[in-house]
């Protein structure tokens, strides 16, 4: 029979091993796939979950336990969190502005995922629960000019989030807060601002602006086209965060002190026209711009105030748009080139 010291040592080793287990929901998506890769690289045992089968994921990592589960159901959430220490809940029904503005009910139904995942995490006694929120929680009336003031976290209240998607995110933020207060669940929340990069949606109606522009420019380059359509007048502004900064910030926030939701985005404000400039420069082309002012375009301006993340974590996203757009365009160009018919 071992000594109490040996018994305690075995218990500590078991606990240490368990702390190295992480769940990523929405793992078949853009951000989720990159996050699974980062956690595996750190040595974590990772369970990756998505409602699509792994053969349809953007990145299915061989080292992860990959499961197809519909997390809008409570029993699926209980299965997903079993034996897990750290939860990264990225699962949601979402897409670019075209999808968000035409699918508000579908976006709000993601509250089933948020609710059931929080309940399952509480019941399992997980260590940390990270929730990916969005800058869409901010009041639309504070984003009605291109030269918008950077959005501070406190600006979310009084609430008037973007209809559908923004309201679901804001409500789920509050659930995280109250699960922490009432049940002791260690929750962390990041408000993502316009994430882009390779291995993500670039067509089909759910793509966001950087991927859409990269696709349109690449299509023109591959077909000899001389123009591209831009939704809006091109003067609307955004800050765009490269995926590497997003993953770094996600891990820092998840492992940092418990705080109110933090912005996670760059503070580099650019117009959509400047985004097009950057993609054209990478592609080595110049195209005629056809502005479709009847298309969905979202708010007129949005930027991230990074005061709090710098104060509390000593860090902020720093990768400039022109640095991140190069690998993004190259990846999308290659996807389109690979499917193009071979000429005789």
Distance CA 187, CA 192 (A): 16
Distance CA 207, CA 256 (A): 31
Residue identified by tokens 């005629």 is 288
SS3 36: helix
Tokens of 201: 């949606």
| Cα separation of the two ends of the chain | 77
Distance CA 262, CA 192 (A): 9
Q: What radius of gyration, in Å, describes the C-alpha atoms of the chain?
A: 21
CA dihedral of residues 247, 58, 27, 49 (deg, nearest 10): -160
Active site residue 165: yes
Distance CA 249, CA 261 (A): 13
Q: Closest Cα partner for 177 from 134, 136, 131?
A: 131
DSSP state of 328: H
Tokens of 52: 């699509």
In this structure, the chain runs to a length of 344
How do strand 128-134 and strand 45-50 relate by DSSP bridges?
unpaired
Contact 193, 241 (CB under 8 A): yes
Per annotation, catalytic residue among 58, 138, 165, 329 = 165
DSSP state of 136: G
Burial of 28 (0-12, 13-18, 19+ CB in 10 A): buried
Residue identified by tokens 């993609």 is 279
Q: Which residues are identified as catalytic?
A: 165
């Amino acid at each position: 029979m071992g000594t109490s010291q040996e018994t305690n040592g075995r218990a500590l080793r078991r606990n240490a091993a368990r702390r190295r287990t992480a769940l990523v929901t929405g793992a078949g998506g853009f951000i989720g796939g990159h996050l699974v890769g980062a956690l595996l690289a750190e040595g974590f045992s990772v369970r990756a979950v998505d409602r699509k089968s792994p053969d349809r994921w953007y990145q299915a990592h061989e080292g992860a336990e990959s499961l197809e589960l519909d997390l809008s159901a409570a029993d699926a959430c209980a299965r997903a969190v079993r034996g897990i220490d750290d939860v990264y809940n990225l699962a949601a029904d979402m897409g670019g502005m075209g999808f968000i503005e035409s699918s508000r009910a579908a976006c709000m139904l993601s509250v089933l995922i948020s609710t059931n995942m929080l309940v399952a995490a509480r019941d399992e006694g997980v260590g940390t629960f990270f929730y990916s929120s969005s800058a869409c929680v901010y009041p639309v009336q504070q984003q009605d000019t291109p030269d918008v003031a950077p959005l501070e976290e406190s600006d979310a209240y009084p609430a008037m989030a973007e209809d559908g998607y923004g309201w679901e995110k804001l409500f789920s933020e509050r659930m995280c807060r109250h699960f922490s207060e009432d049940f002791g669940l260690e929750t962390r929340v990041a408000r993502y601002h316009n994430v882009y990069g390779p291995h993500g949606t670039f067509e089909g109606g759910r793509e966001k602006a950087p991927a859409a522009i990269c696709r349109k420019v690449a299509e023109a380059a591959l077909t000899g086209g001389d123009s591209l359509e831009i939704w809006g007048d091109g003067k609307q502004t955004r800050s765009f965060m490269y995926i590497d900064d997003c993953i770094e910030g996600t891990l820092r926030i998840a492992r940092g002190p418990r705080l109110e939701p933090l912005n996670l985005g760059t503070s580099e404000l650019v117009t959509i026209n400047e985004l097009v400039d950057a993609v054209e420069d990478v592609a080595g082309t110049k195209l005629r711009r056809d502005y479709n002012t009847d298309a969905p375009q979202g708010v007129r301006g949005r930027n991230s105030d990074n005061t709090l993340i710098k104060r509390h974590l000593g860090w902020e996203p720093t990768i400039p748009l022109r640095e991140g757009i190069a690998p993004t365009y190259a990846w999308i160009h290659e996807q389109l080139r690979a499917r193009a018919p071979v000429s005789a």
